[in-house]
Each structure stands twice: as structure tokens, then as C-alpha cells.
Structure 1
């Protein structure tokens, strides 16, 4: 990918988030200003074909751009918006302007109160629109109709309710619904990996600057072992993310389900370990409101299993392998070696 796009988006996000204090909650007005500036920049449509006003790059080429939401701690769902707009264009789904989030969870409908509640909505308290998949259906919900039940302090999720009659049901065929899910999972993984990279960068810088017994703590062998482990995990997470998008030579093609499951398992499996080591090296300062590390480790922990835990995705991978020609895992692995 041409680094001009990456440099331009990095500069934009750096500018938009430069004034944010690690210990201060961002206001709704500030979120709106950030959303408007990103929308005006055209980056939210970067996965669209050039004829539709996009850049025409593939999903694989966009990996570095999608990660920037997590790396710069952008307070809106940029990556989700990018993939949802590309998906809508590919499947001829008419969606309104604005920022989007996606949820694949149980939408609790209260017939008596005539309301629908989502208890874990990604940016549910701030996003313009949400796509909610549940019970083989997909609904479009708007911010002007929502009622925020609980916005968790410092978190990116909220409990939100809408009047049941305000939800618009989208008539999607099975492949469109599956593509929407796969693209949304991929976007969340990209945000998580971006946050991992930033947490590692902060940890590396802090270990080089923090003095103990007359020398930087990065000179101690135990700390070096911890740093090398984080580096290994972050690299593995990035490789898994890229592999999930490898077969996507077209921006509107959703990631392969099996490769996506492997990436989700890998990233969810190591997420807590990366956050734990980062805080162990930082010590008490890592959880202080004045230091930014907690913003990134919060993203890592909150996003790692938004679409299922590591155990869930491990079971999905195993089921896929065992269903292949009704073979055992050993037979599938040896067959793959023979083919190579």
C-alpha cells in the first residue's frame, strides 16, 4: 500500500487525539467534531471503489489503516464504519450517513414496555447508527431514538435501549449477513492489534527511561524476557490479522471464515498476557489516570472477546477441521503434509 494514505491518516488521527487527556472523559460534542472531521476527510469511504469515491484499495492493504483507530485511541468506531460502508456498497444496502457500529448479540425485546435492549453495545452511547444481528435478522438503530441505560466509566461499551418500533429490519440474504459479521469481526481485531502495538511501544519506552539501581529497568534480564515475550505476541497477532485478509484482493470481499477464526483465537488468547506484562513493567503508574497505558490495555481487554472468547473460536476451528471429510485431526494434518 502507498504509505501516503497511512501517513495522512496517522497525521489526522494524531491531530484529532493530541488534546485528549488520559484521565479526562471526552464529551459528546468532542466526539461529534472528531466524527465530522473524519467524515469530511473521506477516509471513512477508503474501502469503496474509486468510481464510488473511495481509494479502491483491498482489505489487506487497509490493515495498517484500520489498526490506527486502536493505536491512536480514536474515540469513535472508525474501523467498523469503514468496513460497514464498503459492505453496504457491495450488497446494495441503503444506509444513512454517519458513523456505524455492529453488534452480534441477544437483543432483548420487552413486549410490555415495547423496547429493545442491547446490554453490550460497542460505542452504543456515542455512535450515529448501529447494525444489530440477532436471531437470523439484522436491524438498523439510530442514535436519536436510543436511551442510554449505562455508559461504563472509561469504557467503550454501553447498555442501550430503543423503542421497538424505531428499529428498521434489513432484508439481507445469508451471504450478506455472513459477510457483515466477518468484516465486523475483522475490524474489531484490527483495532485490538493497533492498541497492542501502542501498549508495547509505551512499555518499551518506559522501560528504557525508568531508572532503578542506577540503570534503566530495560537492562535487567527479567524485564528483557518480558519485553521479548510481548514483542513476540504482538508480532504473532499482526501476522494472524494479515493472514485473515490475505485472500482479499478486493476491498468488498469478506475475510475467509476459517482464517478469521484462527486470527480471532490467536488475538483473544494472547490479549490478557500482553496487557498483564505491560502493567507489570510499568508498575503503579500504568493504572494512573494521568498515564495513557490504561486506555490501550482497556481496549485490548474489552475488544478481545467481543465476538466470542478464545475457547469459542478454538471450538469453531476444531469443528471445521473435524467436519472436513469426517476425518480426525491427525488425518487432516497428515493429509495437508502429503499435499505439500
Structure 2
């Protein structure tokens, strides 16, 4: 397989990495976190000016015409700076969902302002009792005149407190847990009956609890076919999982670099501690976990747009499992090799460790993806 980048891909990579290096230093990021919603609209607008908000969208939709590799390059660079902006929530997951399944009117109303930086989206699917499930949907959407009435509670909606529009999963038929009967609706975050309670997460990002109490939407709010949203939800979740895997690779690479620099400077018994063989072995193991995570993410990029959903699921689960396992190892070893300073708020390593830990719990943790992969293994027939 050819892993070399095209000229356009290298230009994109260089652009994003320069942006992060110049404008996402440790102290700069701490300042951005104090803004409303935990990020600055000025940086979001700069993403729009550079074309980053249109990376995965087709050119006829006003986008860059990129694919999973381009998304991977952006997210890996973002991981190196612990970028706070709602890129995964707005662009990678919800935006692409609208691009795939939205009506022409929905695409026109949502994607153009999204790409220009005027609109922020969020995907409201998680619920208090569904724990990574794509089918465990208790939120209901009942027929009401020429539209629907929504009732339910969505939890840990990534950047839901900053979103202008929400894509909400709700059950139009069947029982909670059924694979059919789940639909998606485009809902104005400021509509009557929608309440949003935002909060900061431990990694500096934001999420929200979203409650829908008799929210009225029209027929034109339905995204895709009624009752057939589960495959779309699964694809959207896989895109999000893939994106945060790429982000984790960037964060892990910085954690490794910070640790190596520290080992070269910190002295014990008159020599750098990096000269001790046992410490060198740990550093090598950290790099091995990083490279395995990078390779698994590359494979997921190759399979993300596959016509075979099972192949996509397997590749994404492998990457998410490896990133969860490898990221934890890199974080723990980095902190242990640093000693007490690695745990302090004033040192940037602790912030990378927190983000890596949160990534493991987004879009399914390592154990959940190990279970999903196991379920997809073919069992040979007896005899």
C-alpha cells in the first residue's frame, strides 16, 4: 500500500501544523479555554478562512473535496495542539451526516454556513442508559399534524452548548433497543422546548445535557428515511471514532517528544536519566505503541469509505482499541518518567494525558470496540 501523500495533502498538512504551532501554544490554549463555550470564534473563523471546515465535503457543496486521509491529517495536527474548537462535532460527524443523508434544502441551509464558519452543529445521540449503543434510543418522536413532537434526554452532547443546530436521534416506532424505528431530525437549538445545560469536561472541551420537552418540528426536519437511521448513526459514530484516533496519534507523539526531551535534561547521579537502559526500554515501548496506533489509524482511513460496512467497522474498532490501549500506556509512562511535574496543571504533559484518556471514552472505549470486533469475527461452520 502506498502511504505517500499527494502535493495537496502535504500542503494541507503543512498549513494546519503551522497554524497549531503558531497559534496554539500552551498559554494561548489556556486563554482560549476561558472564552464562552471553551473556544474562540476568532479561531473558528480562521479555520473557515483556511478552508479547514470544508475539508471532507464535496466541491459542489462548497468543500475541499477531501476524504478520510485529509481528515486524518487535520486531526493529527489538532491533536498536537489539543485544539478546542468543535471540529469533530460540527464537521466530521454532524456535517458529513447532513452531506450524506440530508435533503437538498437541508444541505443548502446547513453546509454553506457551516463551511463559512457561521454555523456550529452537534450530534445528539447519547442517552443516560445507552452506553455506546447505536440502537438503544428512548427519545421519542411522535407524529403531530404535519410534523413530529420530540420528547427525551440526550447526554454528553459534544459541544452541544455552542451548537446552533442539533441532529437528534429519536424513535418513531418500535421499542427501545430495536434496530429499526430510529429516525434523525434537524432541530434548532433555540427552539421552544429545547433546554441545553453545558459544562466543561476534564480535557478542556465542552459537552451538554440536552432535554427535549414537546419540541415541534416539521416534516422537513427529518434527515434521511423515517425509521432507517441506525446505519447512518453507525457510520457517523465510526467517523467520529476515526477522527479522535488521529487526534490521539498527534497527542501521543507530543507526549513522547516531551518525555524524550525531559530524559535528556533530567540528571541523576551526575548523568541524564535517559542514559539508563531501563528508561531507554520504556521510551522504545512508548514509541512502539505510538507507531502501532498510527498504523491502525492509517488502515481505518483506507476502510472508512469502504462499500463494505463490516470492513469499516473492523478497521475502526482495531484502531480505537489500539489507541485506547496504546494511549493509556504512553500517558502513564510519560507521567511516571517525568515524576511529580508530569501531574501538574502548569505543565502541558498533564493536559495531553487528560485528552488521551477522554479520547478512549469517546465513540466507544477500548473494551467496547474489542467486543464489537469479536462479534464480527466469522465462526467456521462445524465440520
Residue 176 of structure 1 pairs with residue 237 of structure 2: no
Change (3 A) 1:266 1:26: same
- Matched-pair contact (CA < 8 Å) for 1:68–1:191: yes
- Matched-pair contact (CA < 8 Å) for 2:58–2:65: yes
Which residue of 196, 200, 205 maps to 1:151?
200
Residue 14 of structure 1 pairs with residue 24 of structure 2: no
Counterpart residue number, 1:138:
184
Cα distance in 1 for partners of 2:51, 2:183 equals: 30
Shift of 1:231: 0.4
Mapping 1:316-335, distance limit 5 Å: 316-321=372-377, 324=378, 326-327=380-381
- Matched-pair contact (CA < 8 Å) for 1:104–1:132: yes
Change (3 A) 1:154 1:310: closer
Unaligned ranges ≥5, structure 1? 332-340
- Matched-pair contact (CA < 8 Å) for 1:22–1:295: no
Shift of 1:54: 2.5
Shift of 1:293: 1.0
Counterpart residue number, 2:56:
47
Shift of 1:274: 1.4
Cα distance in 2 for partners of 1:272, 1:281 equals: 14
Cα distance in 2 for partners of 1:153, 1:266 equals: 22
Cα distance in 2 for partners of 1:86, 1:159 equals: 21
Cα distance in 1 for partners of 2:236, 2:203 equals: 28
Counterpart residue number, 2:120:
99
Stretch moving more, 128-137 or 61-70: 128-137
Cα distance in 2 for partners of 1:157, 1:120 equals: 9
Which residue of 88, 98, 109 maps to 1:88?
98
Coordinate RMSD, CA, aligned: 3.3
Change (3 A) 1:274 1:127: farther
Which residue of 118, 124, 134 maps to 2:160?
124
Counterpart residue number, 1:160:
209
SS of corresponding position for 2:210: strand
Change (3 A) 1:213 1:125: farther
Shift of 1:130: 4.2
Shift of 1:196: 1.5
- Matched-pair contact (CA < 8 Å) for 2:200–2:206: yes
Shift of 1:115: 7.2
Counterpart residue number, 1:287:
343
TM-score scaled to structure 2, two decimals?
Answer: 0.73
SS of corresponding position for 1:304: helix
Cα distance in 1 for partners of 2:156, 2:223 equals: 24
Change (3 A) 1:36 1:23: closer
| Count of equivalent residues | 323
Unaligned ranges ≥5, structure 2? 129-137, 141-149, 172-181
Counterpart residue number, 1:334:
none
Cα distance in 1 for partners of 2:244, 2:121 equals: 13
Change (3 A) 1:211 1:47: same
Shift of 1:24: 8.2
Change (3 A) 1:133 1:207: farther
Cα distance in 1 for partners of 2:254, 2:124 equals: 25
- Matched-pair contact (CA < 8 Å) for 2:120–2:162: no
Shift of 1:157: 4.5
Counterpart residue number, 2:249:
193
- Matched-pair contact (CA < 8 Å) for 1:104–1:181: no
- Matched-pair contact (CA < 8 Å) for 2:123–2:167: yes
TM-score scaled to structure 1, two decimals?
Answer: 0.81
